[in-house]
Amino acid sequence: MNPLYNISVKKSNGEEISLSDYQGKVLLIVNTATKCGLAPQFEELETLWNTYPHDDVMILGFPCNQFMNQEPETDETMATACKLNFWVTFPLFAKIDVNGDNTHPLYQFLKWEKWGILGDAIKWNFTKFLIDREWNVIERYAPTTTPLSMKWDIEKLI
């Protein structure tokens, strides 16, 4: 069984859920930050979210404040800011660490499966991981890779 099935995450409202709730779906997992210069990517992520049926593709945003404090909001105010400023309706979760001693188990798994230019470390906000229906980590995308440029890769997995 894939280790992702055993990982729990907290929604921005504090409710804990299992990633197994997304079993059988293509996942695009992104570490986000509302004050980052790459924050306009929220709009393209939302476009992707509205492009595909949610039975097929899920976009999951995991805010992180580890890069120059670019996610200073609380979990609640972050979700509100994303809705008001970027029209985000895809799932956003509670803030997590993606590097260091307190790395969330989800990112421990993702980084183990797909290394980046800096080895296993996440370079910056908006690093993206594409996961197929069997939950193989297919690709790791650099922060500067725009979400819409990944459309073909997503469609190959649907």
- Catalytic residue set: 36
The helix (run of H) or strand (run of E) holding residue 103 is none
Q: Is-contact 65 72, C-beta < 8 A?
A: yes
* Secondary structure letter of residue 9 according to DSSP: E
Tokens linked to 121? 């470390």
C-alpha 149/C-alpha 12 separation (Å) is 27
Neighbouring-strand partners of residue 27: 58, 131
Bridge pairing between strands 57-63 and 128-131: unpaired
* Secondary structure letter of residue 4 according to DSSP: G
